[in-house]
Amino acid sequence: MKNALLILATLLASVAAASQPLKLNEAGVEEFAALEGISKELATDVVALRTKRGHLGSVEELRILHAMPDSALDVLRSNTTVQVELPMGQIKRYDSPQQVLAEFTGEPSVQQVQAWANDYANMSPRTVEKWLAASKSFAALPTVWLRYRRTDDWNQDFQYFALDGLIDQENEGLFNVLDGAGVKQESQYFIQARWDLADLVMSSERIRMINESQDIVRLRDKILTEVNRVYFERRRVQAEMLLAPKGDVLGQVKDELRVMELTANLDAMTGGRFSAALARSGQ
């Protein structure tokens, strides 16, 4: 009876452990690979990135792995948790806003995050400038036609003689004698190039590129506006956590989760570069 109870308890413990989400910063390769949709190679890459950085703040940091598909990210979001370290103890005193902001000097600047977002979305101003520069020379290339003509000529010349040697009667019977024959072949090539002088001033291709660039500028402005909003919202939450940390655990957890959410948003807009920079700086 005792053995049966022991086996049952072991099975229940195994089921309970299996139903618990994995700890993103503690699970091993085999545990990650046991999740449906996570290969052993991908699990190895996850553990290697975690080891390199020392800590993963969220699943979104794994976006920088080239072999990480969106489906695998969804699996990890649903089956892993991140341990949150809550600030405890005495609150540090700050005498000026500069002292507070100095706590974050190791983090990427908003200008750097903007540049990453532009590059990730392929909307860098340098890219647009290259497109416009290329459109200037578009009309400098002529429209070219190539034609080929081949002519074959055959000719034969005859002399006519009477049967009696003298043509002196109407309807007299004649016979012809080949006097000459020839074959003539001729090949000709024609090449024509045409420039449209009006297009040299303002081509339709350049007009199209100007319109495209204006659309890109508007989209880039929207992206940068969102980057600015998320970046400074994250900074405000961080400052509040330093100056007025919540007195209850639930409030502290909400603040930590908010910072993680905003960090994940910046990673989504920069292809994971934001968290990668935080890891390098030790933040």
pLDDT at 13: 44
Same domain, yes or no: 68 and 187 = no
Amino acid residing at 279: A
Structure confidence at residue 202 (pLDDT): 56
Instruction: Give a yes or no: residue 272 inside a domain.
Output: yes
DSSP code, position 35: S
Whether residues 107 and 222 fall in one domain: yes
- Region of poorest pLDDT, from 67-71, 79-83, 93-97, 175-179: 175-179
Closest listed residue to residue 116, CA positions, set 283, 24, 230, 239: 230
Distances (CA, A) of 115 to 65, 121, 223, 250: 20, 10, 11, 36
Residues 74 and 187 sit within 8 Å (Cβ to Cβ): no
Q: What is the DSSP string of 36-60?
A: TT--HHHHHHHHHHHHHHS--S-GG
Residue 249 placed within a domain: yes
Name residue 108's amino acid.
P
In a domain, 173, yes or no: yes
Q: Are residues 209 and 135 in the same domain?
A: yes
The pLDDT, as a whole number, for residue 175 is 62
- Domain boundary, last residue among 41, 57, 83: 83
- Indicate if the pLDDT at residue 16 is higher than 50: no
Which range (92-101, 146-155, 231-240) has the least confidence? 146-155
pLDDT digits over 118-145, tens only?
888 776 666 666 666 666 666 666 777 7
- Scan for tokens 């005193």, then name that residue: 93
State which of 63, 83, 103 marks the end of a domain.
Answer: 83
Claim to verify: residue 42 and residue 166 sit in the same structural domain: no
* 78 found inside a domain: yes
φ, ψ at 191 (rounded to 5°)? -120, 130
Strands 143-162, 174-194: pairing is antiparallel
Confidence of residue 70 (pLDDT cuts 50, 70, 90): confident
Give the mean model confidence (pLDDT) for residues 247-264.
89
SS3 content of the chain, % helix, strand, coil (to 5): 60, 15, 25
Q: Tell me the residue range of the domain where 185 lies.
A: 143-194
pLDDT digits (tens, 9 = 90+) for 197-231: 555 555 566 666 666 666 777 878 888 999 999 99
Prediction pTM value: 0.49
Are both 18 and 132 inside the same structural domain? Answer: no
Share of the chain above pLDDT 90, in %: 21
1 found inside a domain: no
Domain annotation covers residue 253: yes
Identify the band that residue 58 occupies on the pLDDT scale cut at 50, 70 and 90.
Answer: confident
Please tell me the total count of domains within the chain: 3
Question: What are the tokens at 274?
Answer: 């934001």
Domain boundary among 128, 162, 194: 194
Q: Is the pLDDT of residue 112 over 90?
A: yes
Residue 118 has phi, psi (to 5 degrees) of -60, -45
